[in-house]
Structure 1
Amino acid sequence: MRFKQAFKPFVLTLCLMSFFSLSSCKDDDNEVTWEWDDEEVANIDKPKVIWVDAAANFPDFANSKENILRDLKLAKEAGFTHVVVDVRPTTGDVLFKTDVVDQVKWLGAWLPEGYSKIERTATWDYLDAFIETGHSLGLKIFAGINTFSGGNATSLGGEGLLFRDATKKSWATELLTESGIINTLDKGGSGSKFFNPVNEEVQNFLLQLVEDLAAYENLDGIILDRGRFDEFGSDFSDYTKAKFEQFLGHQVANFPNDVMVPGTKPGNLPSTLPVYFKQWLEFRAKVIHDFMESARNRVKGVNPDIQFGVYVGGWYSVYYGVGVNWASPDYNTSAYYSQWASKNYQTYGYADHMDVMLIGAYAAPTKVYGSNEWTIQGFCQQAKDKIRKDAVVIGGPDIGNGAWATESDATINSAITQSVDAAINACDGYFLFDMIHLKLKNQWPYVKEGIDEAISTEK
């Protein structure tokens, strides 16, 4: 049993103290000691987190430490306290020291003249530059990785391990489609090409990566993004079928139809489910749960003080579609979602293995307040309830995609300011995706206004 499980009544304050200071307190006998109380943590002390996507920000940061300093200063001045820098983009290659996979040589990004290849010619360490610069400004630096991404296909071509090494095709996920089961590399199309999370070779490869990342001196934390299956139709390989049959304890004669019918969509399930459907959801959630537990253990084995966490989408009601139960194992999923969740589903909630969880409260700019999913406030409130104080819960919006890209500037700017209040008072902090959006429209003043108001108006 982990420490924070044993002392659960005090876990929120303890975790926030640990997350914000990112250091343990030790007495003269080198025993870990803590101070806490039951009062709510003030907004001024809650983390304010900004994400830095690798590809979108690559034109500025790939080859310029000066630009990193410039923009981290802007983040600090706006009131952010923590930065998550993406060091394993969707290509699956990396921007940190490791011998496990190649370094990023180029990424595609949108420039005024169109989608273009941005090459990295600098030889200095990308992650170290963020750590050194961020710490000089008093910011905490977390490294984010696209966990189960193995390659990325764009109009510029394919990049990453799955495109570079034909022997790794068996690592790629196989998708259930209306036309049959096909390897994601054979399906074609653009976007991230996922590994199969069930594959033990894939898992060992990724665990070595996070272990190398944890070895970074002075890195404050690690956040796993895309720690999930590709989609609802993933993975239906023979490999995964055999692992599922081991999970069941017997063979499945009519695969995949006794598991899932092609074309099934999360949130729009048939009234009659296949015989093994709920057990299939259990199995997928167990795969991700067990990987997260292993990743935490590997990270903490290298550095017990580093913070470990995940980014997940706040839409829990349909998140089973990507094989993830991010709630606490104390949250009885089947009591609320009996259509798809078995009584055993809650066993594979992994929140108790996390120090911090970033919640994508990705509602529209016209849906800031409310108590339901698909409002920023509701996403945060519901995540807080489901996580049951097992981890620090930090939520907030994506301010550049979906309706955020089409609404008027006045609506968006106001929503950015309001999003701070909606999120920070509903959970344990504020999270914004992505730095590039603030930069493109110079929207820093609006998030600063929201952070300042959240602090100044607090009783």
Structure 2
Amino acid sequence: MFIKSIVGMLIAANIASAATSKVDDSDKGWTWYRIGSYADDDAYKLIAHGTHNRNSYGQYTFNGTGVAVYGWQGPNGGQLEFIVDGVSRKTVSVASSIERYNFKMFEIANLSKSSHTLRIVSKNTKWVMIDYLVIEDGSTTTPTPTPSPTVSPSPPPTVTPTPTVSPSPTATPQDPTRYTDDRELVVRTIANFSKADDVVKFLDMAKRNNFNIVSVSIKQDEDENVPSGTVFYPSKIAPVAAVYKNFDVIGTIITEAAKRGIRVKAWIPQFHDQVAARKNADWAMKALVNGKIVPFQGSNPDSPEYFVNPINPEVQDYEISIIKEFLSLYKVDSVAIDWLRFDNWNMDMSDRTRSDFQAIYGYDPATINFAQSSTKRTQWNEFRMQKVADYAGRVKAAVQSVQNVPLGSYTLPPEFIECAQSAKRLAQHLDFFSPMAYYDDWGYQLNWVYDSVIADLVSEVGITKKIIPAYNYYWSVSEFQQIYKTLNTRYPQIRGGSFFKYGKWAESDMTTADQGSKK
């Protein structure tokens, strides 16, 4: 028995095994494009890279004969394409009813013993995560066999005690002040750019302060400087702001942003549109005020507001025509619509909307007491919510017909139910949400950001839907740190930050906001 065991050990010792090495996603050899790192207790070395962005990628060049890729698999997972040396080898779905880490997503062997480049590309806007690689370097490890001992029946060999093996030191998790995936500045065009030099200076500041997205207004949102609905590109549909009739501000932004590796998001407000309201009186939003149906002009008679009816098909056609015209002229990275809502319970009260509602529910919405909660008021709001969501579906189809880019929206907090904006219904058509989490604007405490705004949105759209919260740029570093620490614990997939300033951005503003784009 003893002789057989020695022979078995000698045979096993001479079996050659392939040498492998493990490469974490934090390795400096990686190149990442639109995929951010984040802390994850279940990941190798407690760090992973993940994204919702379509066509984002990670790339790694290695020497060896094979490689395996490990990451996450779970509900609503996306698709990854694995490209080796410029050749697509496989596209894999990581969707599964069960969540798993250390999931082998891809493996290739029998490559030539040389340098190879692996690129991993996200194919849609669902969540994907890359954790580490195992590389086969092409060599083999063959332990040196122990010389065969002289076998004699007596005495038995002396057994040397096995030495105590000291445990390997625990890997220290990397905890840099890690930037989030999307560091976005929201820019009101008319307030920031009047000449090309303004664009260059702004983008240089954005680059210095580590921002990688500018969300630029394509169409005026407020009735200040120029009427809402005025556009900032050479349109044949809507009036162009005078300052931009001989200055292609959007083209300049796109060109200069590309030079600095900054993405451009087209921010296109919708139904807060004075130009459209004046274009056709039938398009203007109607409200029930003191028992009378009148054009809605807000609560301040000294500063009227102008909304158009989101339910009117002609209004929808007009707003969509602007989106399609713009996208036919400029290539952008994504589109964000805004003002996708009503302003209160008591609108829209136009004849057409009332007729459509009555055909479904059998009564005139003008008879509803909007001051009190009731079944009828709920029915009215559900009707409007669905109409707004259906419109988002039309916008999605329009965008996709011109450019295959993600579509999202800046959305109101859950408290604003009277505005008929349902995130759950919109989620069918939108690729991302930017909830407006301006706690101080609305008189809330800081915890409202994550306990109400984010928590409610996640419950409506799910954690795998991309969420980029919108913050006021001027909050303190400690406030931003509290938000990010809480989000990292509760919703580690939410790593983006969008920062808004109503007026002209200064570098000091960006420096302040930059602190908020770090964890």
- State TM-score, norm by structure 1: 0.69
2:218 is aligned, of 75, 80, 87, to 87
* SS in structure 2 of the partner of residue 212 of structure 1: helix
Contact 2:345 2:418 in 1 (8 A): yes
Q: How many residues align?
A: 361
Displacement, 1:353?
1.4
Deviation at 1:235, TM superposition (A): 0.5
Cα distance, 1:19 vs structure 2: 7.4
Contact 1:395-1:423 within 8 A present in 2 as well: no
Q: 1:296 and 1:32 mapped to 2: Cα distance? A: 25
Unaligned ranges ≥5, structure 2: 1-48, 58-79, 93-120, 133-174, 222-227
Residue of structure 2 in register with 1:201 after alignment: 314
Residues 1:20 and 1:323: Cα distance change in structure 2 (over 3 Å): farther
Cα contact 2:468–2:496 (8 A) shared by 1: yes
1:4-403 pair list within 5 angstroms: 16-18=52-54, 37-38=128-129, 44=179, 46-55=181-190, 57=191, 60-61=192-193, 63-90=194-221, 91-105=228-242, 120=243, 123-151=246-274, 160-163=275-278, 165=279, 168-184=280-296, 188-248=301-361, 251-252=362-363, 255-257=365-367, 260-262=368-370, 264=371, 269-270=372-373, 273=374, 275-304=375-404, 306-313=405-412, 315-316=413-414, 318-327=415-424, 349-364=425-440, 369-370=446-447, 374-375=448-449, 378-389=452-463, 391-399=465-473
How big is the shift at 1:15? Answer: 5.7
Instruction: Please tell me whether Structure 1 or Structure 2 has the larger radius of gyration of its CA atoms.
Output: 2
> Sequence identity, in percent?
17
Structure 1 CA distance for aligned equivalents of residues 292 and 459 of structure 2: 39
More displaced stretch, 391-400 vs 142-151: 391-400
Q: 1:37 to 1:67 in 2, by over 3 A?
A: closer
More helix by share: 1
**Contact 2:310–2:342 (Cα < 8 Å) also in 1:** yes
Check the 8 A contact 1:421/1:450 in 2, yes or no.
no
2:510 corresponding residue in structure 1: 444
Tell me how far apart the structure 1 counterparts of residues 298 and 440 of structure 2 sit (CA, whole Å).
34
Deviations 1:105-129 (A, max 9, x none): 3xxxxxxxxxxxxxx1651222112
1:47 Cα offset (Å): 0.9
Q: Which runs of 4+ in 1 moved over 4 A?
A: 24-43, 185-189, 365-369, 416-426
Superimposed CA distance per residue, residues 194-241 of structure 1 (whole angstroms, 9 cap, x where no aligned partner): 100110100111111111222244311110010111322210111110
Residue identity opposite 2:479 in structure 1: A
Superposed CA deviations along residues 395-438 of structure 1, whole A, max 9, x for unmatched, are 032246xxx7xxxxxxx565356555556774241111127475
**Aligned position for 2:479:** 415
1:65–1:174 CA distance, 2 compared to 1 (3 A) = same
The 1:278–1:378 alpha-carbon spacing in structure 2 relative to 1, beyond 3 Å, is closer
**Cα distance in 1 for residues equivalent to 2:288 and 2:183:** 40
Indicate how the Cα distance of structure 1 residues 80 and 324 shifts in structure 2: closer, same or farther if over 3 A, else same. Answer: same
Find the residue that maps to 2:251 and give its secondary structure: helix
Residue matched to 2:11:
none
- Do the aligned partners of residues 18 and 186 (structure 1) sit closer, same or farther apart at CA in structure 2, a change above 3 Å counting? closer
Q: CA 1:439–1:144 in 2, change beyond 3 Å: closer, same or farther?
A: same
Partner AA of 2:431 in structure 1: D
Deviation of residue 445 (structure 1)? 2.5
Q: Where does 1:428-443 land on structure 2 (aligned, <5 Å)?
A: 428-434=495-501, 436=503, 439=506, 442-443=508-509
The 1:31/1:276 distance shift into structure 2, 3 A limit, reads farther
Task: In structure 1, give the amino acid aligned to 2:238.
Answer: V
Q: Counterpart of 1:323 in structure 2: which amino acid?
A: A
Higher relative contact order (CA 8 A, sep 6+): 1
Q: Whole-Å Cα distance in 1 between the matches of residues 130 and 259 of structure 2?
A: 31
Secondary structure at the aligned position of 2:305 is classed as: strand
Residue 287 of structure 1: how far off its partner (Å): 0.5
Q: What code does the residue aligned with 1:220 have?
A: D
Report the CA distance between 1:378 and its aligned residue. Answer: 4.5
Looking at structure 2, the residues matched to 97 and 31 of structure 1 have their Cα atoms a distance apart, in angstroms, of: 43
Q: 1:198 to 1:189 in 2, by over 3 A?
A: farther
Is the 1:368–1:419 Cα contact (8 Å) retained in structure 2?
A: no
Supply the AA of the counterpart residue of 1:310: S
RMSD of aligned alpha carbons:
3.5
Structure with a larger share of its residues in strand: 2
Q: What amino acid is aligned across from residue 169 of structure 1 in structure 2?
A: A
| C-alpha distance in 2 between matches for 1:216 and 1:422 | 41
Contact 1:376 1:397 (C-alpha < 8 Å) held by counterparts: no
Name the counterpart of 1:111: none
Residues 101, 238 of structure 1: alpha-carbon distance in 2 compared, 3 angstrom cutoff: same
Q: CA deviation at 1:38?
A: 4.7
Structure 1 regions of 5+ residues with no counterpart?
A: 1-12, 106-119, 152-159, 328-348, 405-411, 455-459
Q: Report the more deviating stretch, 30-39 or 210-219.
A: 30-39
Q: Secondary structure at the match of 1:18?
A: coil
Query: Letter of the aligned partner of 1:277 in structure 2?
Result: R
SS in 2 for 1:219: coil
Q: What TM-score results when the alignment is normalised by the length of structure 2?
A: 0.62
CA contact (8 A) 1:95 1:127 kept: yes
Q: Deviations over 1:70-126 (max 9, x none)?
A: 112212222211110011113112112432211123xxxxxxxxxxxxxx1651222
Letter in 1 for 2:403: N
